[in-house]
Amino acid sequence: MEMLRNCKGLIHRLALFLVIAARIAAADSSGKPVVPALFILGDSTVDCGNNNWLWTVAQSKFLPYGRDFDTHEPTGRFTNGRLSIDYLGVNFASAGSGILNATGSIFGQRIPMQTQLAYLKDVKSELSEKFGQEQTNEIFSKSIFYVSVGSNDFINNYLVPGSSYLRDYNRKSFIDLLISGLDEQLNELYSIGARRIVVASLSPLGSVPSQLAKFSTIRLDGSSFLNDMSQQYNTKLFDLLVRLRSSLSEADVIYNSLYNVLMDISGKYSQYGTRKTTPAFLLFDRSLSTFQGFLYNDTACCGLGNFNGSVPCLPNVPVCEDAAQYVFWDEYHPTGSTYKLIADKLWSGNINESYPINVKTLLGL
| pLDDT score at 35 | 72
Residue of 47, 183, 264, 330 marked active site: 330
Q: Rounded to an integer, what is the distance from CA 273 to the centroid of its chain?
A: 24
Cβ neighbours of residue 109 closer than 8 Å, sequence gap 6 or more:
3, 4, 51, 54, 55, 56
| pLDDT score at 140 | 92
| pLDDT score at 102 | 82
Is 324 a domain residue? no
Residue of 44, 84, 143, 354 marked active site: 44
| pLDDT score at 80 | 74
Active site includes 12?
Answer: no
Nearest CA to 302 among 324, 328, 325, 341?
328
Q: In what order do the strands lie in the sheet with 252-256?
A: 38-42, 144-148, 196-200, 252-256, 354-355
Write out the residue range of the structural domain in which residue 41 sits. Answer: 2-260
Which of the residues in the chain have pLDDT under 70?
1-34, 43-63, 66, 69, 71-79, 81-96, 104-110, 216-223, 273-292
Is 347 a domain residue? no
Percentage, residues of the chain above pLDDT 90 = 42
Active site includes 86?
Answer: no
| pLDDT score at 364 | 83
Q: Which helix (H) or strand (E) holds 255?
A: strand 252-256
| pLDDT score at 1 | 42
pLDDT per residue over 24-40, tens digit each?
334 444 445 567 777 88
Nearest CA to 353 among 269, 274, 257?
257
Is 180 a domain residue? yes
Cβ neighbours of residue 138 closer than 8 Å, sequence gap 6 or more:
36
CA distances from 172 to 164, 176, 226 (A): 15, 6, 13
What's this model's pTM, rounded to 2 decimal places? 0.81
Is 15 a domain residue? yes
Is 209 a domain residue? yes
Is 31 a domain residue? yes
Active site includes 333?
Answer: yes
For the chain, the domain total comes to 1
- Give the Cα separation of 251 and 44 in Å (integer): 26
Is 346 a domain residue? no
| pLDDT score at 254 | 96
| pLDDT score at 112 | 81
Nearest CA to 203 among 221, 167, 229?
229
Strand partners, 62: none
Residue of 47, 60, 333, 337 marked active site: 333
CB atoms within 10 A of CB 124: 20
Between strands 354-355 and 252-256, the pairing is: antiparallel
Is 322 a domain residue? no
- Give the Cα separation of 281 and 348 in Å (integer): 11
For the domain that residue 33 is a member of, what is the CATH number?
A: 3.40.50
| pLDDT score at 137 | 94
| Residues 75, 66 contacting (CB under 8 angstroms) | yes
